[in-house]
Structure 1
């Protein structure tokens, strides 16, 4: 073997070693600046199991829940997950808008969002998105002792690691000083813009004392072209990132909180959020005064918020803008605050008004958040705190007063978000619960019943003819269409009915629909379809004296 060949071989060998050494430490320095410790996990390291859960008649359906298992951070994780049915409004839509103002609907598989718990720890809260196309997972796992995060690595490191995720503990996040966030008060000089009103008054104190079916604030989430570009110009990245943030905020900060609605200490709970629309700007808007304009340089947060408030967001409880702009003040969020006065505008359920100074038609149910700082995306817990804080203002809470001993801990509405040493960052203080409770009692006029998006949950619900779960949602079910209606020529669904075969009633004795020792695990005989119904006939008992369980 020639010396030149050996030399080339050694060079190639050392180069290969260097590449192998570098590849698992993607942008290690950048991530290490944010995290004391994190681990990379490949999508193939997750094990997914579909577990049948027998449903009640008459649907004769079997619901499949997911169990996801993986190992990271020196421990095993086993997640028990079901589709989240309350995350989106019944009329939810996601659309893009290009530079010319053209709209395009973006299909969103709402079935991919799950909620559940750790197996063996039912007090834990797990919120998960499983990407049906690339298998990547975005997750929050909250236990009494720790919170764990999983995010696609490509959001922080680029496309080179599009099969990996980073997993880390909240306690491993480095404290890099405080985050500044603020609120605005709507101008008192504004007057109501006369139009057909969308809000009918149903004050909370008259319609409820402890709870209400009108318990949900519907949001419009708006993304400027800068943030869209920053997230690799991917609608999927944008939607997954924002929805996962709101998902966690609703389940951990808003729904569990008891809001004090009167001087007697009466409270309500289960008040929260759902998403009505997501608008993604894929290019800049030509109008230089628009919130999505292409102007260079930094802008004041107040100016951007006022521009955003010129839009017509009157169909929503709140509208929130996500941007990759850098504010000259260094703030990461700003929103108009709600007040308990019925005639005062600002925050939840605001009506459109005419600004007395500019004569612009505006609406003050708006807020804005910076979703990144410099060249990096905010970590999930940072972004969630900013968004939840600004929505807290929109619901009526000012910053926690430093003079009140009951509210001195670093709660969610502290003026500055710093470290999480006291474990109260995601919680509203007693002061906030009183302030927001007063607003909810008087001004939650646009709150709606929490919608249930049932299509895609494997069960035939009211108004549905079939439901094949993910196959239905992705429009890949030969029997059932994506609207949970039977396709033309189909009489039943193979997924939903045990005596359905190729979308027709199974011929007599052609299919076993009840196996001995499965699901029911009782003393019954094996049963065949009878050819006249897509529902399995009642199973007969075994002969008396036969051994059975």
Structure 2
């Protein structure tokens, strides 16, 4: 029998508190070099924190956190649910000294109530939401004010704790001062030649039996030796998005010319291997940057050396680092899941899932430290050598392995990664840890590397990079890992009003329509690599996805129907596809993918007993046979009450069937 106390808890869960707040415009001032306009938020964080804690403790199936505020002339009414898709159920988190227990319940995804096609993702820490809101018309970023007002606390007299700004208010202030080589790309002939030689110098080794669990070993000793000679590497320098087409340089793009495509094969639905597993490491410099921001606000000088307080700040630092990882992986998922990489085979719903995280603190960076040295403690590492250090570890248990850092690389470089090839050269997704040969300084070297790697940084020209830019940087570098070089030729880098695409030779600020999309050139290149994996020409490390996906023509949990990805694929007048066209939205602003259209009883995607012309059940009196008879059962006919074919009646007992 439920006690009064339990009953009250239940009521709290089903009648959520909605925190209300208002955005305040700050005189049209710039927030920083990147963001031209912002407003502030001041909703009640204590109530949001209490709502988060209730949802965290909830034993109900669908606990939500609600948050409501006004800003930029819009009313935002968010419904948030714990994100259980970005991190693996078997997520392992390591600290500098081994595994650590870190709670991930503060990571959320959700939607805006009564706003069709909206989505929200982010985190709630101490009652403050930080993340991204997409309404369909505009995209907004909400950040903790501490990132821009470091001396600010939640209780100071200014009365705000967050800032909110539009995606369209993000621009690149360093467009004209970035260094690069020809069109903004840092790949010189020397670097390109070196990359090709490494990727084609792999020493293939016999297949080993898979180990139960593999640790990611430390960097070999020679990587820590200051005299070790690093070769050059691919650099990627962030430049202009508005930049028009440059001259038609002879950049290698590795994509085939447009041609008549053969009829595409469809991947067997039962496999559904579409998930790329991630290993993400954060280095001591990003730990130091985030922790100092927390300590500046939280530490009283009188208790500066309090061990309990230090432990609390360390936990908060890990919590914020997990949020940073989740925000970026989720943003990349929205891009890749909504792109059709259709080569010879249809590759849909490509997604990423974090399986392992290594959070390096800066304890190994002090002069008094006597343990094993951490090469990432070195502050003056150029970007190519930084990736090389990361690549020396064994990361073959993962689809991709990345390092997040807070290093101000020269020339405005934000990221760097190995490029996959469909031709058989090593590098990119699913690559194994193996030996590569090279000549450095006239000496022959043989080194084991993982070329399924990449890195990104969150600081540029001494300024913190806005989330939009760093999220697109990660999408860009992963695009290299999937087989796309920089966009080329002219039709795939249009510039101008609509901007350049994700794989343009330099990063973009994200304020143009094309900035978050792949060009047709990139799609071809990536599709070629995925086809090579499908044809077993390259290793397939993709994992099966257990979640439903609107657009795969299979009606799954939570879907009313599923007629395909877009209008081109959907030949069903009864159902909306995943990507709803402008015409349908103009007729029904609340239309949602994989739901039936108004005044329909069913969709043919639900079963053979739905009439495609009328979107209604096939009447029983027509006697339409939907399943033929077999040795074991009689035939079945539509009964007029369901779109599915009724289960057939079995034949009489003792009837021989199935060779029995």
TM-score normalised by the chain length of structure 2: 0.56
Give the structure 2 partner of residue 42 of structure 1: 42
Give a deviation string over 1:425-482, Cα, whole Å, max 9, x none. 1111111111111111223600102367xxxxxxxxxxxxxxxxxxxxxxxxxxxxxx
Q: Structure 1 stretch 160-169 or stretch 327-336: which is displaced more?
A: 160-169
Cα pair distance change 1:30/1:440, threshold 3 Å: same
2:506 to 416, 420, 436: 416
> Does residue 356 of structure 2 align to residue 356 of structure 1?
no
Q: Give the Cα separation in 2 of the matches to 1:117 and 1:235.
A: 26
Q: Give the Cα separation in 2 of the matches to 1:411 and 1:367.
A: 20
Q: Give the Cα separation in 1 of the matches to 2:370 and 2:414.
A: 24
Give the structure 1 partner of residue 323 of structure 2: 240
**Corresponding residue SS for 2:526:** helix
Q: Give the Cα separation in 1 of the matches to 2:391 and 2:546.
A: 26
> Does residue 385 of structure 2 align to residue 393 of structure 1?
no
Give a deviation string over 1:458-509, Cα, whole Å, max 9, x none. xxxxxxxxxxxxxxxxxxxxxxxxxxxxxxxxxxxxxxxxxxxxxxxxxxxx
1:143-542 alignment runs, 5 A limit? 143-158=135-150, 160-161=152-153, 164-178=161-175, 186-194=198-206, 196=208, 198=210, 208=267, 212-232=271-291, 234-251=317-334, 253-262=335-344, 267-283=346-362, 284=364, 292-297=375-380, 299-341=381-423, 343-357=424-438, 358-404=445-491, 409-420=499-510, 422-443=512-533, 445-450=540-545
Q: Give the Cα separation in 2 of the matches to 1:375 and 1:25.
A: 27
Q: Figure out how many residues of one structure are paired with residues of the other and give that number.
A: 403
Contact 1:249 1:388 in 2 (8 A): yes
1:68, CA displacement in angstroms? 1.9
Contact 1:129 1:139 in 2 (8 A): yes
Q: Give the Cα separation in 1 of the matches to 2:46 and 2:71.
A: 10
Q: Which has the higher strand share?
A: 1
Q: Give the Cα separation in 2 of the matches to 1:152 and 1:360.
A: 44
Q: Give the Cα separation in 1 of the matches to 2:168 and 2:114.
A: 22
Contact 2:383 2:416 in 1 (8 A): yes
Q: Give the Cα separation in 2 of the matches to 1:422 and 1:207.
A: 33
Q: Structure 1 stretch 61-70 or stretch 302-311: which is displaced more?
A: 61-70
Cα pair distance change 1:136/1:61, threshold 3 Å: closer
Give the structure 1 partner of residue 77 of structure 2: 78
Q: Give the Cα separation in 2 of the matches to 1:340 and 1:153.
A: 45
**Corresponding residue SS for 2:79:** strand
CA-based RMSD of the aligned residues comes to: 3.4
1:117 to 100, 111, 118: 111
Q: Give the Cα separation in 2 of the matches to 1:197 and 1:377.
A: 44
Q: Give the Cα separation in 1 of the matches to 2:29 and 2:135.
A: 29
Q: Give the Cα separation in 1 of the matches to 2:204 and 2:173.
A: 44
1:348, CA displacement in angstroms? 0.3
1:313, CA displacement in angstroms? 0.9
Cα pair distance change 1:424/1:290, threshold 3 Å: farther
1:295, CA displacement in angstroms? 3.1
2:122 to 107, 128, 145: 128
1:129, CA displacement in angstroms? 1.3
Q: Structure 1 stretch 224-233 or stretch 37-46: which is displaced more?
A: 37-46
Q: Give the Cα separation in 2 of the matches to 1:400 and 1:288.
A: 45
Structure 1 portions without partners, runs of 5+ = 1-23, 52-59, 200-204, 453-549
Q: Give the Cα separation in 1 of the matches to 2:502 and 2:355.
A: 25
Say which structure, 1 or 2, has more relative contact order (CA 8 Å, 6+ apart): 1
Cα pair distance change 1:291/1:417, threshold 3 Å: farther
**Corresponding residue SS for 2:513:** coil
Structure 2 portions without partners, runs of 5+ = 1-23, 53-58, 156-160, 179-183, 188-194, 212-263, 293-316, 439-444, 534-538, 548-660
Cα pair distance change 1:159/1:359, threshold 3 Å: farther
Q: Give the Cα separation in 1 of the matches to 2:509 and 2:408.
A: 22
Contact 1:89 1:450 in 2 (8 A): no
Q: Give the Cα separation in 2 of the matches to 1:177 and 1:34.
A: 9
Give a deviation string over 1:61-98, Cα, whole Å, max 9, x none. 6633333211222321011233322111122122211x
1:209, CA displacement in angstroms? 6.1
TM-score normalised by the chain length of structure 1: 0.66
1:181, CA displacement in angstroms? 6.8
1:194, CA displacement in angstroms? 4.4
